[in-house]
Copies of this chain bind each other. A is one copy, B any other.
Amino acid sequence: MNIPGELTPSQRILLGPGPSCVHPRVYQAMAKPIVGHLDPEFLQVMDEIQEQLRFVMQTRNRLTIAISGTGSAGMEAAFVNVIEPGDKVVVGVNGVFGNRMSDIVSRCGAEAIRVEAEWGQAIDLQKLEDALKQAGQVKAVALVHAETSTGVLQPLEQAGALCKKHGALLILDAVTSLAGLPVKVDEWQIDVCYSGTQKCLSCPPGLAPLTLSPAALDIAQNRKTKVQSWYLDVTMIASYWQDSSRAYHHTAPINMNYGLREALRLVQEEGLETRFERHRRNSAILLKQLSELDLTPFVDESIRLPSLNAMSIPNGIDEAAVRRRLLNEYDIEIGGGLGALAGKVWRIGLMGESSKKANVVYLAAALREILG
């Protein structure tokens, strides 16, 4: 038997695609005494989190909860509850996460109609409409608000109306946008929206905010088939989170929810607009400082994310070696490219607690030393 030693993780500055840095108050909250998952004190925590999530998701949807898994569990929950075998789902695919949505749709026994864009581009709403017209009855349209693999921000102002016109639900991946840039669930007519805690919310990974519009909830409650996932079946989860019965479903991750509550308190204290402006400002500072190192953004300014800055890597640079040096010599994590962008971009996340001028200046200085 080999007993590992005491855990002594380095103090990293997390400027990758997530997780982001965590505020000390969130760590402290997670370390507070555990209570039972049906303890009145925990039920109150759940009530508070629902209100807090409605605030940050800008929605009045009653079903607004934290799924007991990471962002990918949120994605799966978003699909398995409203999609049934034989349904058609139009999926915008312009990066890893659109691909993943498409995969999940097919695992639901549904047909994924892929509307693609090059990695680094947004999904063209005209192409989306063409697909909707051509497909006949479509159950849902799925889009990624903030493609973590490319740094692209998907414009959404018109998407909701387009989906309504065609009688389709709009499912939105807001994993890398929520609490870092506006996610207006009600105003944008989004039916299902999910996120993760470890990005702009700056809570460690382990929970996935999820909200369903009344229309989506109605579909989930009136399915012909059982939801293929027992664990992610929102009608049962909602009984635990919301009904007066508080019917036991699964044991919620108590201390993770403590952490999320505290992370959301920090968001509330800062205010959404102030927080969004901070994310924009630090991204602008980053791009300016990196431009002095001849590093240019991969994504056009009009659709560029402030939370995830993809930078094109100049020829002749061993990009993995640069990242290793950043990590080992400077305790800075940045991300490499995924899939089609492997070796071609660095992904610099400025999310939540990580979005600080100090981090930007330090990273630019470190890159100057390494590249210079």
Segment of A27-35, A112-120, A124-132, A137-145 in the binding face? A27-35
Do residues A7 and B261 form an inter-chain contact, with CB atoms below 8 A?
yes
Kindly provide the distance from the CB of A19 to the nearest chain B CB, expressed in whole angstroms.
6
Write out the residue numbers on chain B whose beta carbons fall within 8 Å of the beta carbon of A196. Answer: 251
Asked if A306 is at the interface (CB within 8 A of a chain B CB), the reply is no
Instruction: Output the least CB separation between A83 and chain B (Å).
Output: 12
Task: Find the B residue at minimum CB distance from A22.
Answer: B34
- Mark contacts of A204-230 with chain B using CB atoms, 8 A cut-off: 1 yes-contact digit, 0 otherwise: 111000000000000000000011111
Is A231 within 8 A of B12, CB to CB?
no
In the complex, whether A37 has a CB less than 8 A from a CB of chain B is yes
B41 touches A9 (CB 8 A): yes
CA distance A307 to B158 in the complex (A): 56
Whether B4 pairs with A254 at a CB distance below 8 angstroms is no
Smallest Cβ-Cβ distance to A272: which chain B residue: B1
Q: How far is the CB of A51 from chain B (nearest CB, A)?
A: 6
Pick the interface stretch among A71-79, A163-171, A182-190. A71-79
Chain B residues in 8 Å Cβ range of A2: 51
Q: How far does the alpha carbon of A204 sit from the alpha carbon of B227 in the complex, in Å?
A: 27
Whether A10 pairs with B41 at a CB distance below 8 angstroms is yes
Residue contact B36 to A3, C-beta cutoff 8 Å: no
Residue picked from A7, A18, A28, most chain B C-beta under 10 Å: A7
Which listed residue, B4, B30, B36, B327, touches A333 by the CB 8 Å rule?
B36
This chain: how many copies in the complex?
A: 2
Could you give, for residues 231-273 of chain A, a 1 whenever the CB lies within 8 Å of some chain B CB and a 0 otherwise? Answer: 1000000000000000011111111101101100100110000
Is A16 close to B, CB under 8 A?
Answer: yes
Given known contacts A69-B69, A268-B1, A228 and B230 CB-to-CB distance under 8 angstroms = no
The binding surface of chain A is classed by DSSP as loop
Report the minimal beta-carbon distance from A195 to chain B, rounded to whole angstroms. Answer: 12
* Contact segment of A100-108, A275-283, A291-299, A310-318: A100-108
How long is the Cα–Cα vector from A19 to B14 in the complex, in angstroms?
Answer: 31
Q: Quick check: is A11 within 8 A (CB to CB) of the other chain?
A: yes
**CB within 8 Å for A73 and B4 given contacts A30-B30, A32-B9:** no
Do A107 and B33 touch across chains, with their CB atoms under 8 A apart?
Answer: no
**A204 and B253 in contact (CB under 8 A), knowing A7-B45, A36-B14?**
yes
The answer on a CB contact under 8 Å between A205 and B41 is: no
In the assembled complex, the CB of A16 is this many whole angstroms from the nearest CB of chain B, namely 6
In the complex, A338 has a CB within 8 A of chain B = yes
Q: A11–B33 contact, CB under 8 A?
A: yes
Once the chains are docked, how many angstroms separate the CA of A204 from the CA of B154?
A: 37
Q: Is the CB of B104 within 8 A of A230?
A: yes
Interface check A39, CB cutoff 8 A = yes
Per-residue B-contact encoding for A301-333, CB less than 8 Å = 1, 0 else: 000000000000000000000000001000001
Is A7 touching B34 in the complex (CB atoms < 8 A)?
Answer: no
Instruction: Establish whether residues A204 and B36, one from each chain, have CB atoms under 8 Å apart when the complex forms.
Output: no
Candidates B68, B71, B230, B261; contact of A107 at CB < 8 Å: B230
Considering only residues 5-26 of chain A, those with a C-beta below 8 Å from chain B are 7-12, 14, 16, 18-19, 21-22
